[in-house]
């Protein structure tokens, strides 16, 4: 409860959602306090159900069934409930104790009921709750080994038609469908528990196929069906461990499943998880099938993954390299994977050779995997080959001129004690780029020259470059901040220019940016000893912006 504060609510939701929540405090109703949680309804565009967890390991958390909340965000409705809870902080401990007492009273009452009384109560609930009745029917069918009954129930659970308004399950209904579909895995697990694991294997495979068909017509943006698939995969493995099916047949099914694209990766079954079930005969068959599949399609993702997994399990580094080498990417990423494998295997000379080969064979150095460049430069540094590291960084910068590649070149050149010459060469390239950008605004996207000079702390040169070839607003702001103490008049011109377009926009973030600029403008006038000019500026600004109440409030808070 100590973590539930206005500051934490604002941090969780963000300033925008927090501000919006202030308008929903009167829309919170039906607050119910439990031991560690609070639920309520919040009336917005629709009525939304909200649950706030008070004692989570990472502080407050919550769920809301509004569209924004369903995406996993801490929405304005959760903030509104949190603020409502804070408003009654003093009574909350008493309410939580009452919730614990109610739970204890219920448990005591249920424990005192006879078997007949409990059955009568359960039958009453089953009559009123269709979902509870279905869950219990499934458990009953599984317990008595009624395969046809369980199969019929599983098919019903995975049927999308009750949720598909126009032949398609929309985002708003996807979670409800997934909740229902998830009961299929529980039903199959019950079948295994009742001593029918072979039937459970058959039924799990059918359920996987049905789920794969269903996902084509479900907007599963939040991945709810992925959890259903994972539960089915776990149920299949559990059933196989109990039934001990024919190892060679199981190996064939696992490979067919891994290489097939019918389940869209929903179940994500790893054949090597079945080693204890397959035994020696099954693993031999599995290896043979994997090798055959890879030889038939050396560029297939699934084939490569299976072959690599088997090779790594066996400690066969050469086969791992062969898998990667059979499908080298043009950006050097595969070369890097091979180099890392060889480094791990303590074969550094081969690793270095593969990394260098990746650079040589890259079709476009500007698109090369930057991790490969970093890896090779690190190896050069470890081998005291500093000129080679500088040369690679220079080539990479020349091909891909950015602030990052400039910084990396600078670090390598300083380590090799040759930065002045490298800097002049690099700046010459950047000046040419900036000049082309100035002449043809659409011919070059970037303002790297100014960024590089700012990063070098060469403010005078950066200002000159910005003046001659242009700069974007964030760079001008940085320049103004840096020169304000010595050149307040120049800085003032920048701040005034940046503030003007903000006066035409609305929104709290815009207002914060504008007020920050006005504070900088005030500082410039103080340094220039022109307070009257600042007073006139603020008066004009207030007059023209008086309808923006949040801006006026923010200016008042800063004494403007």
- pLDDT tens digits, residue range 57-105? 667 788 888 878 877 788 889 888 888 888 887 777 787 777 777 778 8
Q: Strand, coil or helix: what is 470? A: coil
pLDDT of res. 413: 97
Strands 61-64 and 47-53: antiparallel
What distance in Å separates the CA atoms of residue 116 and residue 98, rounded to the nearest whole number? 30
Q: Which two tokens stand for residue 370?
A: 């930057």
- pLDDT tens digits, residue range 37-58? 888 888 877 788 888 887 766 6
Radius of gyration of the chain (CA): 33
- Which pTM does this prediction carry? 0.66
Per 3-state DSSP, the chain is made up of helix, strand and coil in percentages (nearest 5) of 70, 5, 25
What distance in Å separates the CA atoms of residue 293 and residue 167, rounded to the nearest whole number? 37
Residues of the chain with pLDDT under 70: 1-2, 56-58, 131, 134-135, 138-139, 141-145, 261-265, 438-446
Q: Strand, coil or helix: what is 231? A: helix
pLDDT of res. 53: 84
Burial class of residue 159, CB neighbours in 10 A (0-12, 13-18, 19+): middle
pLDDT of res. 445: 42
Q: Among 231, 130, 241, 126, which Cα is nearest to 183's? A: 231
Long-range contacts of 31-37 (CB under 8 A, 24+ apart): 31/81, 31/84, 31/85, 33/92, 33/95, 33/96, 33/98, 33/99, 34/96, 34/99, 35/96, 35/99, 35/100, 35/103, 36/96
Sign of the torsion angle spanned by Cα atoms 290, 296, 298, 300: negative
pLDDT of res. 379: 95
What distance in Å separates the CA atoms of residue 237 and residue 431, rounded to the nearest whole number? 63
Instruction: Decide: 33 and 99 in contact? Cβ < 8 Å.
Output: yes
pLDDT of res. 444: 41
pLDDT of res. 443: 41
Instruction: Decide: 545 and 551 in contact? Cβ < 8 Å.
Output: yes
pLDDT of res. 144: 67
């Amino acid at each position: 409860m100590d973590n539930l504060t206005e500051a934490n609510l604002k941090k969780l939701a963000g300033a925008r959602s927090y501000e919006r929540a202030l308008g929903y405090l009167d829309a919170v109703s039906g607050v119910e306090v439990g031991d560690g949680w609070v639920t309520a309804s919040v009336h917005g565009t629709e009525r939304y159900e909200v649950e706030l967890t008070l004692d989570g390991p990472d502080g407050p958390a919550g769920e809301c069934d509004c569209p924004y909340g369903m995406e996993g965000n801490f929405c304005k409705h959760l903030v509104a409930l949190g603020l409502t809870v804070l408003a009654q902080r003093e009574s909350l401990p008493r309410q939580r104790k009452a919730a614990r007492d109610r739970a204890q009273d219920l448990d005591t009452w249920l424990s005192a009921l006879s078997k007949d009384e409990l059955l009568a109560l359960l039958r009453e609930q089953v009559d009123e709750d269709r979902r509870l009745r279905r869950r219990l029917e499934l458990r009953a069918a599984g317990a008595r080994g009624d395969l046809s009954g369980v199969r019929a129930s599983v098919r019903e659970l995975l049927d999308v038609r009750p949720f598909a308004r126009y032949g398609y399950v929309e985002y708003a209904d996807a979670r409800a469908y997934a909740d229902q579909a998830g009961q299929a895995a529980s039903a199959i697990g019950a079948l295994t528990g009742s001593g029918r694991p072979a039937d459970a294997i058959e039924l799990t495979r059918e359920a996987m196929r049905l789920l794969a068909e269903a996902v084509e017509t479900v907007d599963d943006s939040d991945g709810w069906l992925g959890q259903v698939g994972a539960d089915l995969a776990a149920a299949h493995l559990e059933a196989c461990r109990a039934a001990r099916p024919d190892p060679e047949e199981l190996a064939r099914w696992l490979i067919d499943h891994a290489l097939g694209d019918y389940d869209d990766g929903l179940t994500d079954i790893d054949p090597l998880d079945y080693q204890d079930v397959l035994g020696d005969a099954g693993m031999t068959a599995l290896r043979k099938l994997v090798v055959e599949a890879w030889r038939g399609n050396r560029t297939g993702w699934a084939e490569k993954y299976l072959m690599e997994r088997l090779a790594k399990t066996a400690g066969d580094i050469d086969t791992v390299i062969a898998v990667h080498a059979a499908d080298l990417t043009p950006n050097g990423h595969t070369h890097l994977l091979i180099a890392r494998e060889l480094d791990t295997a303590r074969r550094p000379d081969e690793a270095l050779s593969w990394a260098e080969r990746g650079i040589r064979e890259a079709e476009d150095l500007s698109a090369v995997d930057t991790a490969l460049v970093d890896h090779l430069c690190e190896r050069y540094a470890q081998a005291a080959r500093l000129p080679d590291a500088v040369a690679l960084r220079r080539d990479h910068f020349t091909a891909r001129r950015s602030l990052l590649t400039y910084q990396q070149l600078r670090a390598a050149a300083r380590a090799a004690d040759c930065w002045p010459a490298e800097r002049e060469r690099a700046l010459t390239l950047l000046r040419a780029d900036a000049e082309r950008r100035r002449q043809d605004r659409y011919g070059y996207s970037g303002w790297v020259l100014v960024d590089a000079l700012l990063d070098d702390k060469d403010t005078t040169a950066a200002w000159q470059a910005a003046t001659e070839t242009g700069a974007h607003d964030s760079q001008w702001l940085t320049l103004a901040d840096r020169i304000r103490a010595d050149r307040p008049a120049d800085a003032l011109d920048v701040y005034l220019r940046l503030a003007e377009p903000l006066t035409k926009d609305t929104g709290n973030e815009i207002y914060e940016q504008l007020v920050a600029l006005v504070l900088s403008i005030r500082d410039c006038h103080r340094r220039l000893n022109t307070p009257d000019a600042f007073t006139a500026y603020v008066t004009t600004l207030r007059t023209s912006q008086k309808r923006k109440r949040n801006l006026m409030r923010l200016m008042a808070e800063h004494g403007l």
